[in-house]
Structure 1
Amino acid sequence: MSEECYRESSNISEVEKAKSFISDNHLEIEKESEKLALLSNSVRLKIVLLLKNFNKLCVCDIGEILEVNQSAISQHLRKLKDGGILNKSREGLTIYYFIDEVNNPDLIGLLEKIFLFKE
């Protein structure tokens, strides 16, 4: 069986609309693609899922929950923060991480659909 594409007639108008759609949304596609790539790592995905369920956690909490050393957790948190998925706040000596839901509503909505979170 050949892998070439054969069609009886070309739908030039639909192809042009599709090209325009990709072109018009290129920047948003790239931005969201980078976020999804960050979440392709299971530890980072677990961190985001934990923060979705528990709102804010510190490095120590996350390391203990996932049984991963603090240095590795810190590196994952930095990548998620640099990628615009997380934010952080200081309370006394403790730094807490949380999901930046304002800048990630679509991403959070997607995670909610995939993992069926209950509000």
Structure 2
Amino acid sequence: MKMPEHVSKEIEMIGGIDKIIEKLPDESQISRQSQIYVALSSSLRLKILNLLSIQPLCVCVIQKITKTSPSKLSYHLSVLADNNLIEGNRDASWITYRLTDLGKKYVF
């Protein structure tokens, strides 16, 4: 295969193309990573993550700040929770959401 000489030398130094392939995550990890990026592809979901990086919040506060309908907010919270980016804790009739450790990695 033709390639620039410096690329060829660098590939050779690490053990060849097979070594590069060995270092790739497996397909399930790549699929999981893809799901997380899909979950992060919404500006509303990113806003929710940023809100929760300030402090845990109940749904009513998130709804007031984001000016989102209850059904739309529920959907977006579910996407984030299903991808383990946030978690909700029920207290009587209230649910308070907070970032998970994974969710904290995606807030700057």
| Same structural fold, with TM-score higher than 0.5 when normalized by the shorter chain | yes
CA 1:61–1:39 in 2, change beyond 3 Å: closer, same or farther? same
Moved >3 Å (runs of 4+): 8-12
Match of 1:7 among 4, 23, 26: 4
Give the partner amino acid of 2:4. Answer: R
Task: Give TM-score scaled by structure 1 length.
Answer: 0.72
Question: 2:95: which partner in 1?
Answer: 95
Q: Post-superposition shift, 1:7?
A: 2.3
Q: Does 1:33 align with 2:34?
A: yes
* Alpha-carbon distance in structure 2 between the residues aligned to 1:86 and 1:108: 9
* Alpha-carbon distance in structure 2 between the residues aligned to 1:40 and 1:53: 20
Task: Give TM-score scaled by structure 2 length.
Answer: 0.78
RMSD over aligned Cα atoms: 2.1
Give the partner amino acid of 1:17. Answer: K
* Alpha-carbon distance in structure 2 between the residues aligned to 1:52 and 1:28: 25
Question: 1:109: which partner in 2?
Answer: 105
Percent of residue pairs bearing the same amino acid type: 30
Q: Post-superposition shift, 1:61?
A: 0.9
TM-superposition CA deviations, 1:35-88 (whole Å, max 9, x none): 12201110001111111111x212211111011112111110011111121211
* Alpha-carbon distance in structure 2 between the residues aligned to 1:16 and 1:35: 28
* Alpha-carbon distance in structure 2 between the residues aligned to 1:71 and 1:44: 14
